[in-house]
Amino acid sequence: MVNSVVAGLTSGGGYALLGLCVVLTYRLVAVVNFAMTAVGAMGAFVMVSLTDKGLNVWLALVVGALSAALLSGLLGAALVRWFSGHRERTKAAVTVALYVALTAIGLRLFGGTSTGAHRFPNPFGDPVFTVGGVVVPQSVLVSLAFALLITLAVGLLLTRTRLGLKLQALSERPSTAEVVGIPAPLLAVGVWSGVGAITMLVIVLVAPRLGGDFSTLAGLISTALAVAMVGAFRSLPLTLAGGLILGCLEGVSSSLDAIQKYQGVVPFLVILVLLWWRSRREVWDTAHSR
Amino acid sequence: MKRTLMTAAATALAVSLTAAGCQSSGDSGKGPIKVGSINGITGLFQTPEVPKAVKAVFDEVNAAGGINGRKLELISKDDAMDPSRSGQAARELIQSSGVVALAGSSSAVDCGLNRATYSKSKIVSVPAVGVDPACFTSPNIAPVNPGPYALTTAMLYYASETLKHDKVCMDYTVLPGSGGGIEDAIKQWETLTGKHLTHKNLAVGQGDPTRYLVADKNAGCQAVIYNAVVGPWFAQAKTQGMQKVDFILAANSYTDANAKVIPPDMSAYAGTEWQPYTDPTLPGNDRWAKLVEKNGIQKTAFSQGAVMAADVFVDVLKTIKGDITRESVTKAFKEMRPINYPMVGTPYVFGPGDKHNPIQGSRFVKADKGGWKVLPGGFTVPGKS
């Protein structure tokens, strides 16, 4: 059981990164982006398609990140252009539709689970140390470091810089932000592009552990949302902790025979419990606040 | 109110009469022999090569004069792995198109959804690829592949008897409803060998596989039977230092793409359902390879199943004396004699039983230098070889 918990914890860094991407998008542009991992997976597969053709891996990484940024930017531009006045739930619904469309396109372009498996570069696969019977590779530390970096850097950006102030204004009152001279549409598309590129990098980093085919990687959105829910879509440090908690829960659930068969339910159970916890003091017809 | 009721009753009567008028029992006895198939062409489970390969066999038969002077016509429907489309496809094929049987289906949802329809319509289906468990437990369906249960027994048997491992473990993703069948497959292996699994997890899910691998490592597994996503599994098995463990993968993992993602220092085998498609010189593969090459069809294991299903179907049709109708085709399959087909480990027979899993055993390949190497020794049929 201890070994299983340690094994689960080693997955936590990757899960945290996925959750942070969701929270990042939500805090900066106020959209729960269901298409996030599909966009990242598109970029990641652009990258591996190029490396398959013999392109240098770093160059392919840059091209992949740029393509994810472009795709995410287009998605953001569409939302700004046609849905800026709509409610959050409408925007979320649009991203669900895009998730379905992108998954179908990705499956067609890059193949299914068996036929489209790719070996992603794993530069951090070497072992660092062993805890109990679990070998901890460099990638675990890199994921955790990357998650910490995002948590700190974005926290500082939003609270200590002028750009951060503008971004918060854009997220919370986009129309008012535009009135006071903040170039809201341009800034929003920029944020979407940036988050797209970061998501692609995260997908490439977690792919050797979490899935090498398009549909598995695009499907990581369910894990990402469960982790983001721990941070209530706001708190970056809590989201980071959420990734580690989810990893632990998975480790525990796979080691106990009685609940082993229900382990796939764990992320959804986390979502459910947290939704209930968050809404326990809400009064009917009271406006939700972000 | 009364008038509304009258209108509703009249409409219902009209609809039922129209439906009855559209129904066909597939027994016209003239024109082409219509044969149906339900295939995943779009959606998550895609097998576009299957209906093409079945058609290629039918074209060959038609070019040689057909069967009793009648041509074979394949009507393939794409269900896109969508349950409602699959049910609709079966009803259209049986009621509107009047097919005499189904041959060469390859859908992930067809058997489970349409088994009752096939039984009720007294029509037989010979799937090229039986995917869901219901394909092997229905009275009117008999696929030409071993399927998950027979393959699991063969994989366990290979691990314990051919590779001579004492500590055999199992990490499986089990489809809803098929857990009992997998447990039966394990029991069959236990009865044959007197051995027991050292560690078992039938709930392998998505996400990081490290937790499952660590459990295998702690149990001291020498061989692990596995049927889920390949890439991350082997990347993490390598990280956990499991190079000495023999991993035996199910047939769904036997693809060129998967061979490339297995690190070179890991030991990975795969159980195949037909003669390994990567070697066209193996018995039975020569005819399949020539046919698919000639017709520009993708060389996959599924296209092997398609050619076999079509060949078996044609062979049984040729034994029918008199009109080829749905009734005579169903009767012929229920009374057929076993057909020895070199591409599989045991003879194919439909027969009168309530469930059919005629093809048993598996031939094993090993991942080697980014490809699959066919291992000598032919098919491993539990209890027989």
Q: What is the dihedral of CA B209, B153, B116, B309, to 10 degrees?
A: 100
Residue A49 contacts B, CB cutoff 8 Å:
no
Q: Euclidean distance between the first and final Cα of chain B, in Å?
A: 74
Q: What is the dihedral of CA A110, A112, A115, A116, to 10 degrees?
A: 40
**Residue of higher predicted confidence among A169 and B318:** B318
**Residue of higher predicted confidence among A85 and B127:** B127
Does B232 sit within 8 Å of A209, measured CB to CB? yes
**Residue of higher predicted confidence among A288 and B196:** B196
Structure tokens at A143: 């994921």
Measured between beta carbons, which residues in chain A are less than 8 angstroms from residue B239? 125, 127, 135, 137
Does A209 sit within 8 Å of B235, measured CB to CB? yes
Identify the sign of the CA torsion A61, A66, A71, A75: positive
Residues in chain B: 385
pLDDT band at B329; cut points 50, 70, 90: very high
Give the pTM: 0.82
Average pLDDT, chain A: 85
Predicted confidence (pLDDT) at residue B191 exceeds the cutoff of 60 = yes
- Whole-number pLDDT of residue A278: 72
- Whole-number pLDDT of residue B259: 92
pLDDT digits (tens, 9 = 90+) for B44-65: 778 899 999 999 999 999 999 9
pLDDT band at B29; cut points 50, 70, 90: low
Least confident segment among B137-141, B215-219, B297-301, B320-324: B297-301
- Whole-number pLDDT of residue B28: 55
Where exactly are the structural domains of chain A? 14-123+133-217
H/E stretch holding A232 reads: none
**Residue of higher predicted confidence among B266 and B181:** B266
Give the one of A10, A127, A211 whose C-beta lies nearest to B229's C-beta.
Answer: A211
Does A212 sit within 8 Å of B230, measured CB to CB? yes
pLDDT digits (tens, 9 = 90+) for B195-232: 999 999 998 887 889 989 999 999 999 999 999 989 99
Decide: A250 and A11 in contact? Cβ < 8 Å.
Answer: yes
Closest CA to B247 of B184, B158, B379: B158
Average pLDDT, chain B: 89
Identify the sign of the CA torsion A218, B147, B198, B266: negative
The percentage of chain B sitting over the pLDDT mark of 90, rounded to a whole number, equals 75
Q: Looking at residues B127-146, what average pLDDT do you find?
A: 93
Question: How far, in Å, CA of B118 to CA of A240, rounded?
Answer: 53
- Whole-number pLDDT of residue B10: 46
Q: Looking at residues A155-177, what average pLDDT do you find?
A: 81
Does B258 sit within 8 Å of A209, measured CB to CB? no
The percentage of chain A sitting over the pLDDT mark of 70, rounded to a whole number, equals 96
Predicted confidence (pLDDT) at residue A159 exceeds the cutoff of 50 = yes
Distance of CA B88 to the CA centre of its chain: 21
Distance of CA B312 to the CA centre of its chain: 14
Does B201 sit within 8 Å of A260, measured CB to CB? yes
Which of A 77-106 lie inside 8 A of B, CB atoms?
none
Question: How far, in Å, CA of A123 to CA of A238, rounded?
Answer: 28
Report, in angstroms and rounded to the nearest whole number, the Rg of chain B calculated over CA atoms: 23
Mutation target to probe the A interface, by most A beta carbons within 10 A, among B42, B45, B197, B214 is: B214
**Residue of higher predicted confidence among B106 and A230:** B106
- Whole-number pLDDT of residue A188: 85
The percentage of chain A sitting over the pLDDT mark of 90, rounded to a whole number, equals 34
Domains of chain B are: 11-145+281-334 (3.40.50.2300), 147-272+363-374 (3.40.50.2300)
Q: Looking at residues B236-254, what average pLDDT do you find?
A: 94
Predicted confidence (pLDDT) at residue A286 exceeds the cutoff of 80 = no
What distance in Å separates residue A125's CA from the closest CA in chain B?
6
Q: Looking at residues B237-257, what average pLDDT do you find?
A: 93
pLDDT digits (tens, 9 = 90+) for B249-307: 999 889 888 999 999 999 999 999 999 998 888 988 999 999 999 999 988 889 999 99
Does A210 sit within 8 Å of B232, measured CB to CB? yes
Least confident segment among A46-50, A264-268, B214-218, B339-343: A264-268
Residue B173 contacts A, CB cutoff 8 Å:
no
Least confident segment among B123-127, B211-215, B245-249: B211-215
Question: How far, in Å, CA of B124 to CA of A95, rounded?
Answer: 44
Decide: B204 and B231 in contact? Cβ < 8 Å.
Answer: no
Q: What is the ipTM score, two decimals?
A: 0.82
For tokens 């998967």, what's the residue? B258
H/E stretch holding A127 reads: strand A127-131
Give the β-pairing of B371-374 and B363-368: antiparallel
pLDDT digits (tens, 9 = 90+) for A193-209: 999 999 999 999 999 88
pLDDT band at B21; cut points 50, 70, 90: very low
- Whole-number pLDDT of residue A211: 82
Distances (CA, A) of B342 to A217, B141, B309, B359: 39, 21, 13, 12
Mutation target to probe the B interface, by most B beta carbons within 10 A, among A3, A254, A270 is: A254
Q: Looking at residues A270-285, what average pLDDT do you find?
A: 70
Which of B 307-336 lie inside 8 A of A, CB atoms?
none
Structure tokens at A34: 């269901």
Does B238 sit within 8 Å of A116, measured CB to CB? no
Q: Looking at residues A81-95, what average pLDDT do you find?
A: 87
pLDDT digits (tens, 9 = 90+) for B57-86: 999 999 999 998 999 999 999 998 899 999
Residue A263 contacts B, CB cutoff 8 Å:
yes
Closest CA to A13 of A248, A256, A225, A273: A248
What distance in Å separates residue B268's CA from the closest CA in chain A?
15
Predicted confidence (pLDDT) at residue A147 exceeds the cutoff of 50 = yes
Question: How far, in Å, CA of B242 to CA of B235, rounded?
Answer: 10
Least confident segment among B141-150, B173-182, B191-200, B232-241: B173-182
**Residue of higher predicted confidence among A283 and A156:** A156
Mutation target to probe the A interface, by most A beta carbons within 10 A, among B200, B236, B262 is: B236
Alpha helices (H) in chain A, listed in sequence order: 2-29, 36-52, 57-83, 88-110, 138-160, 162-172, 174-179, 184-210, 214-218, 221-230, 236-255, 257-260, 266-279
Nearest CA in chain B to A137: B239
Give the β-pairing of B371-374 and B267-272: unpaired
Closest CA to B82 of B50, B118, B46, B54: B46
For tokens 């020498």, what's the residue? B222
pLDDT band at B4; cut points 50, 70, 90: very low
Q: Looking at residues B147-167, what average pLDDT do you find?
A: 95
